[in-house]
């Protein structure tokens, strides 16, 4: 499902669309690990350790500077643009800063992954209504993201990340704006999805949540993988 071999990544010219330039130190150094289908991983490490950079590679937002990476069974170093685009549609991402489209209603923000799949509009309406009610935002479908609280925006971001039943979910601090009950509910969703075969990687600093939901940990320290277990 996910397989990294000696993956290094360095920010530089073209990092946003996949290249590694020559400037600066490496954000990730010779990282190797596997996550099987349906695996759940906590991604841990202090600020600057490389968590966001690793999530960026796993979400196909950049290519490794060196090393081998398979995502959803495809070798990324050889993948063409069309293959990457197809793979991205099977990944759900909860960004730390939500990245909602501020001018679109909540409904359309959440519908986006289904519209990219050209699903029929009546099906989209049912799915969006169901997921919005599940995250407690059934009454907010017509609101625009800037009208929502941080916690509500984070729940919209979560809804958008899971609505198309992606094979891989990547989440960067997905509970930092949620209360304890909401965070637990999200973890229960992740456990259910993982049981159904969804592979999930969650970067967090939420120690209470990690203690409450112990799972396999990937710990980064200064760009290196310090623990895998
Ligand atoms: P974490 O998510 O664990 O806080 P990051 O992946 O954000 O760690 O950062 C890892 C390293 O990469 C840090 O040295 C950071 O300064 C650097 N870095 C992160 N983002 C960028 C960027 N867009 N351009 C250049 N360097 C970056
Ligand atoms: P309100 O404050 O309007 O009553 P809440 O924020 O309490 O709404 O959420 C309403 C429902 O949605 C609750 O049952 C809550 O557990 C659930 N919920 C909230 N956030 C999430 C989330 N991130 N994932 C899943 N369910 C959530």
50 lines ligand 1 (CB under 6 A): yes
CB 98 within 8 A of CB 111: no
Residues 6+ apart with CB under 8 A from 127: 114, 119, 163
pLDDT in tens, 207-218: 999 999 999 999
User: What global pTM score does this model have?
Assistant: 0.86
Q: What is the pLDDT of residue 211?
A: 96
Q: What spacing in Å lies between the alpha carbon of 87 and ligand 1's midpoint?
A: 24
| Mean pLDDT confidence for 180-191 | 95
Of 224, 196, 200, 223, which Cα lies nearest the Cα of 213? 200
The closest residue, in CA terms, to atom 19 on ligand 1 is: 53
Q: Which two tokens stand for residue 157?
A: 């971001």
CA atoms within 13 A on the CB side of 117: 17
pLDDT in tens, 120-154: 999 999 999 999 999 999 999 999 999 999 999 99
DSSP code of 19?
-
53 lines ligand 1 (CB under 6 A): yes
136 lines ligand 2 (CB under 6 A): yes
How far apart CA 202 and CA 210 sit, in angstroms, is: 10
Of 222, 194, 186, which Cα lies nearest the Cα of 25? 222
How far apart CA 136 and CA 156 sit, in angstroms, is: 10
């Amino acid at each position: 499902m996910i397989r990294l071999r000696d993956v290094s990544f360095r920010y530089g010219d073209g990092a946003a669309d996949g290249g590694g330039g020559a400037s600066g130190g490496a954000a990730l150094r010779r990282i190797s690990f596997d996550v099987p289908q349906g695996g759940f991983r906590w991604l841990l490490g202090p600020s600057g350790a490389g968590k966001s950079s690793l999530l960026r590679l796993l979400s196909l937002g950049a290519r490794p500077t060196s090393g081998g990476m398979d995502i959803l069974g495809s070798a990324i170093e050889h993948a063409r643009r069309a293959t990457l685009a197809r793979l991205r549609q099977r990944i759900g991402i909860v960004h730390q800063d939500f990245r909602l489209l501020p001018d679109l209603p909540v409904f359309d923000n959440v519908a986006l992954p289904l519209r990219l799949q050209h699903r029929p509009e009546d099906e989209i309406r049912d799915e969006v209504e169901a997921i919005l009610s599940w995250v407690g935002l059934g009454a907010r479908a017509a609101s625009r993201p800037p009208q929502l609280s941080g916690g509500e925006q984070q729940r919209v971001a979560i809804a958008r990340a899971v609505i198309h039943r992606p094979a891989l979910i990547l989440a960067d601090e997905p509970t930092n704006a949620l209360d304890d009950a909401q965070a637990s509910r999200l973890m229960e969703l992740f456990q259910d999805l993982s049981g159904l075969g969804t592979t999930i990687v969650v970067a967090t600093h939420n120690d209470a949540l990690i203690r409450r939901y112990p799972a396999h940990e990937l710990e980064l320290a200064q760009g290196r993988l310090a623990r895998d277990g």
